[in-house]
Structure 1
């Protein structure tokens, strides 16, 4: 079954409602009294921390989206119900589409009192293409929505208005590198910084390293502040972010690129793995992305950043 434009619009509307309702709940909480728990997950601290807020936010989202699962025969993958033990038997491999939900991305900045967290909801097809993406930033109130279903429809909204291409052309005086804080302990980190510092100088820019966000707001930051990149290099250990960390922002990035830019545009935006291939968003042997890495870019050709990390 291929969803129609009307059906995609209806699902986008419901995903937006769910994200906003979850964000309202998250904003109502006293973060100083949170109960923090550990879970069996990837190798980084951010992958191992969970709060009751994550679970309650997920319940709010599913209260709105559960009827669509029944109506359209969708599968469901969320951060709080995923397991590495039985990945191969997950229903997402037998359904045309699945909801891919992170009820609170950026748990570490959230529990530390920061503002780099978000609610992320995506609809991904069985081939691994993200066709709907909704991201809500509770701190700012911003809501990002995308339908990424070329050639049928491709659109991106920010706060209910069409995201204009001029927004990505408002370059800053720096090249922004978004990273997860754990990347600073990676032995490859100094070489990446050295090469990006050199690239920044060639462009007449200063390198700015941003390490206070979760994965979702890192990717949104790239789109908001060109030129910029967010990278996660491949690694042997489980981790490197999960399917739910990137599906919604990948839909937004792909739709934005298709809507406004050509391959030769200097104001382009792109998302790929560390080799330049499309993200494997329905990976059959794991929920993690460590096998191929992740790269978001804006303002410079994606290949420019690929040349640095390869």
Structure 2
């Protein structure tokens, strides 16, 4: 055996090996960069348009069921206060129209609805036709296919709305509230830092009447709210009852009331849209502990600390609840 032979280095082979290593390293680094660049993003402008279209579609379903006189009212159970929590075909059909049109149009975002409908039970729905961009992973949408279902079953249609809200990193950014009934259906929207719908802006121009402060509360989830409001604000404040969180939020925006107060548990799909619109107008909606409401966690659908919503004097009014 000859171990004394010479090893001849092939320069071309070395060049090929070095080149291959360089290409491999370049591929790995560029691939990582590419993965970062191709993260799913979504246009907030398109989400606003989609929210408007979805709420209008849902509103049409609500009106159609109402006109058919076949509500098919059932109970989902009772609230903490023992009030019946009804559901109708209108809730479910509006949910089909809103939920699946949104999820088909934006498959990467999370959509949380008050109602649950199997897609197989919904008729075929097309994606919505649709610009600050954000990562899809940062967006959560909260929708209420029929707010004020109890009032809907009682023929109190002025309180009935369909609602959609876009939250980015838990903060309400876009809110849409659609009133499907009345002489003409009306849609109000707000985009924080961008603007609000023309009709909403016109309502907002009204001067708030400080001489006769009014607090609006829920007619079906009042709990001890009336006595709490009286204890907090005294007899100088009037208390009125109304149905639907969307309706009450718009009353705040229109300056027809001084504040919207809710002292018991409330679901986030009930308040997210109103929260965004009030915020877009420069107002505030917080818990009664004066904490912002976070809409990021889709598993945490409940706000347990009450709400105070105002257009003006929020910090002054919230102090009254701290002394109770």
Q: TM-score per shorter chain, which class?
A: 0.7 to 0.9
Structure 1 residues 13, 45: closer, same or farther in 2, change over 3 A? farther
Matched, 1:74 2:109: yes
Structure 1 residues 52, 172: closer, same or farther in 2, change over 3 A? farther
CA distance, structure 1, for counterparts of residue 82 and residue 160 of structure 2: 15
CA distance, structure 2, for counterparts of residue 309 and residue 184 of structure 1: 16
Superposed counterparts of 1:50-61, under 5 Å: 50-61=87-98
SS of the residue corresponding to residue 210 of structure 1 reads strand
TM-score of the aligned structures, taking structure 1 as reference length: 0.75
1:10-34 deviation per Cα after TM superposition (whole angstroms, max 9, x unaligned): 2211211111122123223237542
Aligned 8 A contact 1:176 1:222 in 2: no
Please, which of 179, 182, 186 is the counterpart of residue 142 of structure 1? 186
TM-score of the aligned structures, taking structure 2 as reference length: 0.72
**Structure 1 unpaired stretches of 5+:** 83-93, 201-206, 258-268
Please, which of 72, 78, 82 is the counterpart of residue 35 of structure 1? 72
Structure 1 residues 40, 95: closer, same or farther in 2, change over 3 A? farther
Matched, 1:250 2:293: no
Aligned 8 A contact 1:58 1:103 in 2: yes
Q: Which has the greater radius of gyration? A: 2
Matched, 1:175 2:213: yes
1:226-257 deviation per Cα after TM superposition (whole angstroms, max 9, x unaligned): 55111122x5xxxx211101111111111110
Runs of 4+ in 1 over 6 A off after TM superposition: none
1:92-123 deviation per Cα after TM superposition (whole angstroms, max 9, x unaligned): xx932122110000111111011211101011
Aligned 8 A contact 2:215 2:260 in 1: yes
1:157-207 deviation per Cα after TM superposition (whole angstroms, max 9, x unaligned): 144xx7158624253863221111245442x6324225434444xxxxxx2
SS of the residue corresponding to residue 179 of structure 1 reads strand
Query: Number of matched residues?
Result: 262
2:316 is matched with which residue? 304
Aligned 8 A contact 1:273 1:295 in 2: yes
Deviation at 1:44, TM superposition (A): 4.5
Query: Whose RCO is larger (CA < 8 A, sep 6+)?
Result: 1
Superposed counterparts of 1:193-204, under 5 Å: 193-200=230-237
2:244 is matched with which residue? 214
2:125 is matched with which residue? none
Taking only aligned residues, the RMSD between alpha carbons, in angstroms, comes to 2.8
SS of the residue corresponding to residue 253 of structure 1 reads helix
